[in-house]
Structures are given as structure tokens and as C-alpha cells.
Structure 1
Amino acid sequence: MKRPSIAPAAITLGVGALALVLALILSFVPFSSAGTVEPTAAFRAQKSLDEVLFKMATSPAAKYTGKVAYKYDDARGEGTVEFSDLIVTTSNTAEGTVSLGSEQGEYRQISNNPYISAPTSLWNELLVADEKLNLDMAPLDNKWASTRFTSLPRFGTILGPDNLAGDIGNVEFGSEPQLGVELPAPNKGTPDARRWPTSDPPIEFVGDNKVKVGSWEVTFDPESKNVTNVKGQSKQGSATYDIDTSVSLQPADQAQKVFANQRALVGDLLSAPAPGLWAKQPVVTPRLVGECTTAACAYDFSVSGIPWADDVTGHFNYGMTLNFAVGGRPAGALGGECKPVVRVDFGRTATTRCTATNLPANSSIGPRSAYTYLAFLDTTEADLNKLIDDNEKQTNTEVVYVRTGNKSPDQARYGAGITGLPSYYAVKRGEYLFDGIGTDGNLHITFGPGYKEHISGGSFDPSWEGTEVLKKQIGEQVEAAGDVQVVYFVNEPEAASALRALIASEGQTDNVSAYFYE
């Protein structure tokens, strides 16, 4: 999954020219080590696949009609979602119609934020039993709500033309290639050095318009190199997606309509219900206020708003039912009953009071509580419009994909989890090869395991050859990136700290950021 980053990249195009500039550079991969003069059939298939996938990855958008069967390793279960005329841009933005069983809804995704507007019956199909427990589903009926915490796939992410191209093209795992000597740049002498493969890739032609790569079958027009259908399996974390869909690459004006439609929805998304997001237990904690008498006995009920996710802004709405038991039995007419609606912002608690009255003498009293709930994700109009603006700029920005050498397996796995690309696909900006690009145009570099052993006293050992390479590349990256940020994702916390120190020593803290991401 392509990760969002910090500041957008803007490339000025001609007045009214919203078409993404198609820039395709292919590097010939080495031939088989078998000693043949001509490239093998597998390498010829690889070259053809690169042409098709790079054409797809640099298209502003693609339209899909097909289905995704999803299955999770955890309690979220499995299902199949069909979609028609689903338009997805290169910035993980999407709009279209989705169907789950016989139920249908409208799907939208802004960057990595997914929403649907659907009848309650679709939510009943989508949510598992635990997710529906105590959930107030009435506000979901044909209203825009976030599916972030449900099992519904994020179609803008898995079907983003660039993300899908990287997923299909990634043949590093399962049949790891034999690798030759290190390439001179970038990363020579570091754990993320690249090497040309010397073994055939597991790719083959099926006729003159289809390539089979791993579990994927990619059908394309031999003349235009436009992909027309993809079928295969994508594994992402605990999820497995079986994808079968037609593909129609779309011009920039179609992507532009998606962003215009999203701006029209902003008001409906400022406080979006988020089923599947629940509060940490205990939600309700009673506390006796003062002394109980036969006339009255008051309790304060503290209501928690601490969600199980820690990267969210919003609130919970609770429909409370508060009452009492006297002598271990329901108080009935003798006791009070309260039914407040309580709003609690995430990370805070709220308190509501309920008082039992007309109590029998010499009796014990105990508080009882029940509730329904619904979480809401809150944002501002300015923040949501900025996110749409950033995504639009990234979609209209020229991106050049090139083939380069492979990283070693551990580094390749780490990088693919960040960028969505195999290590041998790189983003060329200026004279530098970056590992990936964010949904807002920021350029990404990934640092896999193996750097911390070269750290001494919190800094990279000056006697290690990689230290000078890293220092030199900071300047090269900033120059190539121009007016966008360079973002480092680092597998080891010690290496992240050492990279921040190196960035500071080079005076580039305004242009380069380093984050520990395990």
C-alpha cells in the first residue's frame, strides 16, 4: 500500500492541461547466466510486462468492473465484493458502485480514507457479530460512513493503478532470484545495495496478449500496451485478495471528475460514523455520590472515550440506560431510571448522574448500566480539502518508473511493505532513483535491517564506507526532489535516530525526514 507523506509535489503543466505526462524508461535486465547471446523468453516476457505495468502505473486513473474476494487471518472473516465502473486514481482515490451479496452501495475513498453510503442491510452483511454487538446502526442507513475499521477492502489502495502494477510486478518473493555484483549507485556498500539478477524471472507469455507472472494473469493490447484485464491474488498483511477485473486506463479529465465529486461530499464527511471502532473496556464505571437515604441515592457514571485505535480523531455517541437493583433485584418503580445520550471525545471521559429514589429502608442498592454506541471520525473542512488538493496534485504530477537492480530479500520485503513496489521498480526524479512516492507526491526511501551494527555513540561509524554514501546521497536526493519532501522509512529505531543526526549535520532537516516504521 502506498503510504501518504507530507508535502505535495506540483509540476506546472500548460493552461488547462491536466493530462499526466507519460514517461516510460526501461532498463534492460541482464540476460540469463546460461551464456546465451539473446535474452531468454522469460526476460522478453519481463520486458513486455514492464512496458504494460509502467504504462498502467503512470496513467492518472483506471476504471474497473469485476470483483474482489477477501479473506482475513483474524475474526474479520471473508466475503466477495463486486464493483462496476469503479474509477481509481494513482493517489488512492476512488469512486464507484459496490455490491455485497444482493446489497449495493456507493463507495468513495480519499487517499487512504474509505467510505460507503449504503442501506443498513449492506452493513448487516458486512459487519461480523462482534462488530454489531451494542452498535447503534440507525445512523448508518444510506449515510456516508467510514469503512476503515471493517473488513471491506480499500479499493483505492489495492486497485490504484500504480499500486496494482507494483503488486503484479513483484516476483521477488516465493522464487528469490540469484543476484550478481552490486550496482555502483544508489546504496552501494549499504544493506540496501541493489544487484542485477542473473536467473530467469518466473514470467511467461500466454499467447501474444497475456503474460503470466506468479499467481497473476495480465491481459493487454499488444499494440498500445494498455492492460485490459487482471486476475490474481494479492497478499497484504493478514488479508488475501483474489482479484478478477477488467481494466480501462483513463485520461486525466476522468480523474479530475473524481476530485470534483469528492469536494462536493466534504460537508457529509466532516463527522463520519465509523462502525467497527469501539472503546476500550470498561466503558462505564459507576461511583457513589454522597450517602444513600430512603429518599435518594445518586451515582455518577463515568463513560470512557478511549478507542482501540490510537491514530484517530473523533468521538463516541452513547445511548445509555442507567438504573439500579435493590437487594439484588431490579428496583422497578422504586428506583430511578435514566436514559441520557452522552458524547465523549476520543481520549477523554464524560460523566452523567442518575439517582435512585423512594428506596425501602435497610436495603442494599447497586447500579446497573447498558448502552449502545457509535464512533465518529471528525475532521475539518480545511484539512479534508487540503487532502483532496494534495491527491489531485500528485495525480497530475509526472512520475517516471524505471527498472533497476534487486535489493536483498530482507530489504526488498521491508521496502515493498512501505512503497507497494518491488525493489527493482524505482521512481526516477532528476538523476536519482527513489524507492517510492507518497499519495501527495513526497518521495520515499526505505532502509531495511542491517544498519544498526554500523552505529557507534548514536551516529554512523565514520570508518564504515556506507556512512559517506548516505551523507552524499542526502544532498543528491534533495537536489533531485526539488520542491517536495524526501521521507525515510527505517526498519531499526537506532538507525532512524542515526539518520536524523546525519540529516541534521548536513543541514537538511527542512527537506528530509526519517521515521521508524517496523
Structure 2
Amino acid sequence: MRTNLLAAGGAAAAVIAVLAVTLSGVLTPSSDGTAVPDEEMQALKGLVHASTSLADAPAVKYNGTITSTLASGSLTLTVTDLTVTAAGDVHGTVKQEGNGSAEWLQIAGKTLAKGNKEFWQKRPDKKQPAGVFIASVPDDQWVSTEEATLGIDLRDALRPARLGAVLRQQDTSLGGTEVKGTPLTRGDKTPDLRVTDSVDSTGVSETEVEDADGGVDGVRRYQATSMTVGVDDDGVATALRGSLGKGYGGDTVKVEADLKVAPLDDAGMREFYSSAKTSVTGAKIGSREIVVPDPDGGLDCSGARCVITYDLRNTTPGLDRGAVAIALHSSLKSNGRDIGSCDGNGNMPVNGRGRVTCSVPFAQNADVNSSSRMTLTLNGELDPAALAAAVQTGIDVSAASKGWTMTAPKATEEARRFNRQIALVSSGYVYRVGDYAFDGREKDGTLLLVHGPGYDAHVASNGGFDPAWAGTEQLLSQARDAREAAGDKPIRMVFAEGRSADAARGLLIANKIENVEVVTVPLYA
């Protein structure tokens, strides 16, 4: 029997198994005697359609609020016409309670904001050495800033695939329990086995839609635990209200959204990239991350003038190109008496070094002290070639967004938690390429195979997987079939345990399976 063929067709088999098992307990006779799903199953079918259509969208535009709650309090972010692509690129307007607003852009691995005065006043600059100041950035200029500026990573929270998978709230309903039922064939001997469950109810219902009732927009409305989803006449999601699910920002952080959603087609996604690229091409960009260590300074009064010289260097993580202008102002005193001041200008490249100097006439043989102030003005820019390449990658990855399918969840809470951590979706969803089901897809299009805790127990003393363990052959079949299905797309196997990753790497080498990256990422506590 070809077990690897069953592994390759795991995704399709999983969907059929889940629906068939669930339907078997909820079929009721219609008026003509034909068996039909009851209301709960019809609601699940509608919610799954809304979920997968959102996950498959090349990009989605959002309007509404996202509220993050910690023990220390809550913070609400309002987003207006904020578009997030399947590749995780972002552009739109953001506003935080009492913290100002900004045009927000995440593209080419950069996070940029064009904020008003209040937005930047509420976010203090990095501390610089005494006498070194960073020039204020105008309201109409892009500024490179940190991903964490808003307290929430919009690229991950609102990526269509992740948000689509949240609608079903499967991980919330399962909690920390172990799923019991019939294992799917693919990986049924490994710690990541998926199990169809014919006992638990679907936990989904359809609710009434009335004019001005305060519910989410839509001609129909579905409820899944804490999530309410509105859909249009075609069953496509139009709005949502509820928890953004387990695992975002750590399970101790409560993140809730109240959003109108508008999935974009391929043309809308391409228009997003064209507009985003145009908005920053050739723009002078400031930075909130520039760091300048203590300058090396010198004062030489051995001639007819006192010459002040400073050597500076800077680190600007958010930018790769551009220049930093240095404006120096120095005042000199001798024995407590002012003897003059001078100004000088210099430059240094972004992430480089530079020198600035000025001088004051003074021919006396006396002690001299100087006091200096340096103001740095950053004129950074994005590398046009890197920006163009990133835009093309974003278009390619977003255009290939379709392929998300609901399936059976992984059996254990640890496996489900690691799946959320790495793939950013609940384990009850897979991304299909042809007939092969991957656990997820990275922002750059890399296809993911996620392997949670438990594999180390099957690593033998020689460092390889125990050949007598059935999971060894299943892992090999998965990798072989995944490589064949992926074509020229990159694949990454992610293990929660280091010894397992080493064993998997050796297994692939021994069986001449190439172009499959194997990495270790520990499970978050």
C-alpha cells in the first residue's frame, strides 16, 4: 500500500472526513423526505465559506477598531481604509486613543509612518548622548519606526489567511483538551496527528439581522463562541466582531476587533502595491531608531585658532541608504570669559561615520573650554531596487493566496499552539497546493510543515529517528510528497525541538530529498 499517496491527498480527505462525520449526526428529513443538514450545520457551512473566502483573498481592506487588553489596561486602535495583503504588506490610516494619528505603511521589510505632531509627541525619541539632538521630522514626512510602535503587529493580526481562520474560533472552542476521534491517515503516528471529532457540536449558529440593531453589518450573521460574522448575499464576509483568537501577542493578551472587511480581488491588490510604491519612491525618510554613540571630540588651540573636531557614527536599523547631516554649534570660554563661537556642517552616510569641525580665532596661551551642540537631520531613502523586488514578491505571493481549506484539528493542545505560533492559523486550516496540504504559508510564500513537541522521544542514540517508529516513514513521505507538490516554491520544516530537527535533516539527506529547509523554533511558554 502507498501510504505516501494518502499523505499527499491529506487535505482533500480531511475536509470530506470532517463534514461527513459531522453531518452524520445532524441530518433531519425535509418535507419531501430527503435528509438535509440542521440549522447548526447550515450555519457552519456558511461560516466556513465566509472564513475560507476571506483567507483566500489577495488583500483585504479594513475599517474599525482593534482593542488590546492587558492587566495594565487596554488600548484601542482605529483603522481607516487599512489594506493588508496576503503577503503581509500594510497601508492605511491608524489612530490611537489620545496618541494621535498617522498614515501607516509596512512594505519591503520596513515600517514607516507619516504621523501628526501628537502621534510623535506621545512616542519619545531614543535617548542620545549629551549635546546630540535629532531634528524634528515634519508632519508630512515618512519616518522609519519600529514594528512595535502601535503595540500590535497589523501585518500578522490582519493578514487575510490568519483572520479568515479566526472566524471559526476553533482553537477557542477546543481549549486545552485533547481531541478524540478518528485520526486522519497523514501523520497519524506522529505527535501532529489530526483527528476528526464526531462528538463535539459545531458550536456555530445563525442569528437574526434587524435594522439598526447594533450588530455587525451583513445580510446574514453567524455566531461562533465570541466571534460574530456578517456576510453579503454571496456569503463573503463583510464585518466581524470578537476575539482575534488564541496565540496573538501571547495567550495572556486579549485582542478584540470590531471591523468592516472588504476582500479585494487581484486588481485591487495590484493597485495597492502600485500606490504604496509610488508614495515612498524617492521620498526623504526620517527615523525614530537612529542611535549615535558618544562622539569622539577634540579641541586644538596650538595655533592661531582653536579648532573643534568631532567624529560621529550612527546606526539606523530601519534604513539602508541615505545621509545624516550634522550641524555643529560650539561656544568657547577661557578663564570663564567668552572668546567666541563657531558653526560647522558635516555629513555621514546612514549606518556610517562622519566628521564635523569649526574654529574660533584665539592666539593666547591660556586654558580653553568648549561647549558643543550637534543637531542631526536624517535624509534616508529606500533602495529602489529592493523596493521594486519586494513589491513584485508581494504581488506574486498575494496573487497565489487561494488554497486555504478547513480540515480536522491537531489532537493535542501543544501541537495546536505550536501551529498557531508558526503558521499563524489554527491547525484546523491547511493551505493546499494541488492535492497536498501544507500547515501554512509564510509572508514570502514559503510553504510550511509544522512539527510540534514530542518528536525528540523518537530520536535514537545515533541522532536519527528510530527506523522502527512508524512516524519516521510518515515524515519521509510527507517531505517527499511536499517537495513534489511544491514545484519551485520553497519549503520549510519547522520543529519545536532541536534534536528532532537534526534527525529530520539527516533523514532528508540520506534519502536525497533536497531544497527543504529544516529549522528549530522553540514553543513559546
Q: Normalising by the residue count of structure 2, what TM-score does the alignment of the two structures yield? A: 0.75
Whichever residue aligns with residue 57 of structure 2, its letter is: S
Select which of 77, 81, 87 maps to 1:85.
Answer: 81
- Superposed CA offset, 1:337-389 (max 9, x none): 6654553543x555556778859868596x76655557777642222112111
* Cα distance change, pair 355–432 in 1 and its aligned pair in 2 (3 A): same
Alignment partner, residue 380 of structure 1: 383
Once residues 431 and 448 of structure 1 are traced to their aligned partners in structure 2, the CA distance between those partners, rounded to angstroms, is 23
Change (3 A) 1:344 1:502: farther
Matched, 1:476 2:481: yes
CA distance in 2, matches of 1:436, 1:332: 71
SS of residue matched to 2:477: helix
Q: Note if contact 2:80-2:93 (Cα within 8 Å) is conserved in structure 1.
A: yes
**Could you tell me which of 286, 290, 293 is aligned with 1:273?**
286
> Which secondary structure state, in structure 1, belongs to the residue aligned with residue 517 of structure 2?
strand
Distance 2:269 2:446 in 1: 20
CA distance in 1, matches of 2:374, 2:20: 65
Structure-2 change in CA distance of 1:243 and 1:274 (3 Å): farther
- 1:18 matched to which residue of 2? none
Alignment equivalent of 1:96, drawn from 89, 92, 96 = 92
Q: Which amino acid in 2 is paired with 1:480?
A: A
Deviation at 1:224, TM superposition (A): 1.9
Given that 1:229 and 1:246 are in contact with CA atoms closer than 8 Å, whether structure 2 keeps it comes out as: yes
Q: 1:438 aligns with which of 435, 442, 457?
A: 442
1:116-153, Cα deviation, whole Å (9 max, x unpaired) = 334444433xx423558877353342123334345234
1:142 to 136, 140, 143: 140
SS at match of 1:142: coil
2:344–2:358 CA contact under 8 A, matched in 1: no
Q: Do the aligned partners of 1:186 and 1:433 also contact (CA within 8 Å) in 2? A: no
Partner of 2:194: 194
Letter in 2 for 1:386: A
User: 1:35/1:248 Cα in 2 relative to 1: closer, same or farther (>3 Å)?
Assistant: closer
Structure 1 residue 220 and structure 2 residue 231: aligned?
A: yes
Give the deviation of 1:258 after TM superposition: 1.2
Mapped to 1, the partners of 2:451 and 2:363 lie a distance apart of 68
CA distance in 2, matches of 1:72, 1:274: 29
Specify which of 223, 245, 248 is matched with residue 236 of structure 1.
Answer: 248
Does 148-157 or 397-406 show the bigger shift? 148-157
Match of 2:324 in 1: 317
Which of 379, 392, 395 aligns to 1:392? It is: 395
Distance in 2 between the 1:494 and 1:322 partners?
59
Matched, 1:416 2:420: yes
Is contact 2:345-2:357 (8 Å) kept? no
Shift of 1:433: 1.2
* Aligned-partner SS, 1:446: strand
Partner of 2:314: 305
In the alignment, residue 485 of structure 2 is paired with which amino acid?
Answer: A
Change (3 A) 1:501 1:376: farther
> Residues 44 and 202 of structure 2 are in contact (CA less than 8 Å); yes or no, is this contact kept in structure 1?
yes
Equivalent-residue separation in structure 2 for 1:171 and 1:388 (angstroms): 33
Q: CA deviation at 1:324?
A: 8.0
Kindly indicate whether the alpha-carbon contact (under 8 Å) linking 1:303 and 1:349 is maintained by their aligned counterparts in 2. Answer: yes
1:115 maps to 2:112 = yes
Residue identity in the other structure for 1:218: V
Question: How far, CA to CA, are the matches of 2:378 and 2:161 in structure 1?
Answer: 32
CA separation in 1, counterparts of 2:190 and 2:136? 56
2:495 pairs, out of 482, 487, 490, with 490
Give unpaired runs (5+ residues) of structure 1: 1-23
- The offset of 1:431, in angstroms, is 2.5
Change (3 A) 1:484 1:219: same
Matches within 5 A, 1:195-210: 195-197=195-197, 198-200=199-201, 202-207=203-208, 209-210=220-221
Contact 2:178 2:413 in 1 (8 A): no
- Cα distance, 1:505–1:210 mapped onto 2, change above 3 Å: same
My pick for the range that moved more, 136-145 or 101-110, is 101-110
Task: Tell me whether 102-111 or 178-187 shows the greater mean CA deviation.
Answer: 102-111
CA RMSD of aligned residues (A): 4.2
Q: Separation in 1 of the partners of 2:371 and 2:496?
A: 48
Question: What secondary structure does 2:492 align onto?
Answer: strand
Please, which runs of 5 or more residues in structure 2 have no aligned partner?
1-13, 29-36, 210-219
- Given residue 123 of structure 1, which amino acid in structure 2 is its aligned partner? W
**Closer, same or farther in 2 for the Cα pair 1:292/1:137, shift >3 Å?**
closer
Report the residue type matching 2:418 in the other structure: Y
What is the distance in 1 between the residues matched to 2:164 and 2:475? 29
Question: What number of residue pairs does the alignment pair up?
Answer: 478
> Aligned-pair distance for 1:225?
1.4
- Quick one: which of 45, 62, 66 aligns to 1:68? 66
Structure 1 residue 100, shift from structure 2 partner: 4.8
Kept in 2, the 8 Å contact 1:435–1:446? The answer is yes
Residues in 1 aligned to 2:486 and 2:340: alpha-carbon distance in whole angstroms: 69
Residue 489 of structure 2 aligns to a residue in which SS?
A: coil
Between 93-102 and 258-267, the greater mean CA deviation after superposition: 93-102
CA distance in 1, matches of 2:237, 2:306: 72
Q: Is the 8 A contact 1:320 1:369 kept in 2?
A: no
Shift of 1:283: 1.2
Look up the match of 1:128.
123
Q: Conserved in 2, the CA contact under 8 Å of 1:171 and 1:202?
A: no
Q: TM-score, normalised by structure 1?
A: 0.76
Cα separation, 1, equivalents of 2:93 and 2:305:
56
Partner of 1:5: none
CA positional deviation for 1:189: 2.1
Following the alignment from structure 1 to structure 2, what is the Cα–Cα distance between the partners of residues 295 and 400?
Answer: 77
Give how far 1:474 is off: 1.3
Q: Render the CA deviation track for 1:146-174: whole Å, top value 9, x for unaligned.
A: 34345234545422322211233343247
Q: Say whether the 8 Å CA contact 1:29–1:43 is kept in structure 2.
A: no
Q: Report the Cα offset of residue 492 of structure 1.
A: 2.8
Work out which of the two has the higher radius of gyration on C-alpha atoms and give 1 or 2: 2
Q: CA deviation at 1:462?
A: 3.1
The letter of the residue matching 1:384 is L
In structure 2, the residue corresponding to 1:139 is in which secondary structure? Answer: coil
**Matching of residue 284 in structure 1 with residue 282 in structure 2:** no
Q: 2:162 matched to which residue of 1?
A: 163
Is this contact kept in 1: 2:101–2:118, CA < 8 A?
no
Inter-partner Cα distance in structure 1 for 2:513 and 2:92: 42
Give the drift of 1:393. 1.6
* Distance in 2 separating the partners of 1:410 and 1:374: 49
Per the TM alignment, residue 454 of structure 1 is displaced from its structure 2 partner at its CA by 3.2
Deviation at 1:317, TM superposition (A): 3.4
